[in-house]
Copies of this chain bind each other. A is one copy, B any other.
Amino acid sequence: MAAEDRADPLFVRSVEKAMGILSAFHHAGGPLTLSDLATGAGIDRSAAQRMVHTLRALGYICRDADGHGYLPGLRVLDHTLDYLRLDPLVRQATPVLQELRTAVRERVDLSLFDGPRVVYAVRLQTTRQTLNASLVGHSVPSFCSSGGWAMLSRLPPEQARDIVERSDRRPFTSDTITSVDDVMENIAKTRSDGYALTTNQILSGEIAAAFPIMNAKGEPLAAIHIAGSLADWTPEDYARRVVPPGQAAARTISQY
């Protein structure tokens, strides 16, 4: 055994390989071949064969309809359900967000903080939104999203800056703010306002407000988002409309 392998004798490399195979789909646009999966997971083709064979038997991977590649299997959704059912924040947030959506009549979401990204766990829908806007598990970078600014504003500024600096700051629209200094300026404004307001950062024409939710130690855990259209609102009117109920909802959820 190599010295570095003995460093963590409890770590099970086969499990890492299997999860690496499943993670190869993160960057996929469609079904993947065995070789694609091996390459994506950074492992040997033989190891990939064993992992795929095992994951298929367990229901986590399946053949696609014409037998030309592999896709994630239905068993994945069982674990999604466990996550959503068991996460205390998701459980207590959901009814509060439903009331908030009724009050403001715009799209309401809850995202969870994961350093350089925020991950959507609760997506409340309106009558029309993009497919991405309805998908649990969808994530966006913290540096250019309203939720990201909200949660980063609740970290010490050096820690927030570190996260922003090591983000992949590629723009989503022609208006996406990518300069570290400009992002930090907006985070500072969010800190003083108590909420974030973004325009055109992830989608052109979108305005989004976000309200941070902290744990008992004051660390950011999550954020409520309320997204609307710049076709319907000016930023000032939007803030006036959604900030009071958004802040109330965030306080209600943070109280638990």
Interface residues of A (CB under 8 A from B): 10-12, 14-16, 18-19, 22-23, 25-26, 28, 30-31, 49-51, 53-55, 57-58, 60, 64-65, 71-88, 91, 94-95, 98, 101-102, 112, 114, 119, 121, 124-125, 127-128, 131, 134-139, 215-216
| A-B residue pairs in contact (CB < 8 Å), sample of 9 | A11-B54, A15-B55, A22-B82, A25-B82, A65-B88, A77-B119, A84-B137, A94-B134, A98-B128
- Give the docked Cα–Cα distance between A119 and B72 (Å): 15
Write the nearest CB–CB distance from A123 to chain B, whole angstroms: 9
Chain B residues whose CB sits within 8 angstroms of the CB of A12 once the complex forms: 14, 18, 50-51, 53-54
Write the nearest CB–CB distance from A72 to chain B, whole angstroms: 4
Asked if residues B127 and A125 are in contact (CB atoms below 8 Å), the reply is no
- 16 more A-B contacts (CB under 8 A) besides A76-B80, A78-B119? A11-B50, A11-B53, A11-B57, A12-B14, A12-B54, A19-B58, A23-B78, A25-B79, A71-B83, A78-B139, A79-B79, A80-B80, A94-B131, A101-B127, A102-B127, A124-B125
Write the nearest CB–CB distance from A47 to chain B, whole angstroms: 9
Asked if residues A14 and B14 are in contact (CB atoms below 8 Å), the reply is yes
- Give the docked Cα–Cα distance between A59 and B138 (Å): 16
Chain B residues whose CB sits within 8 angstroms of the CB of A50 once the complex forms: 10-12
Chain B residues whose CB sits within 8 angstroms of the CB of A128 once the complex forms: 98
Chain B residues whose CB sits within 8 angstroms of the CB of A75 once the complex forms: 19
8 interchain residue pairs of minimum CB distance:
A81-B137, A77-B137, A80-B137, A25-B82, A80-B80, A10-B53, A14-B14, A72-B83
Residue of B whose beta carbon sits closest to that of A9: B50
Chain B residues whose CB sits within 8 angstroms of the CB of A83 once the complex forms: 71-74, 76-77
Residue of B whose beta carbon sits closest to that of A23: B78
- Give the docked Cα–Cα distance between A101 and B53 (Å): 39
Write the nearest CB–CB distance from A93 to chain B, whole angstroms: 10
Write the nearest CB–CB distance from A203 to chain B, whole angstroms: 17
Chain B residues whose CB sits within 8 angstroms of the CB of A79 once the complex forms: 22-23, 25, 72, 76, 79-80, 137
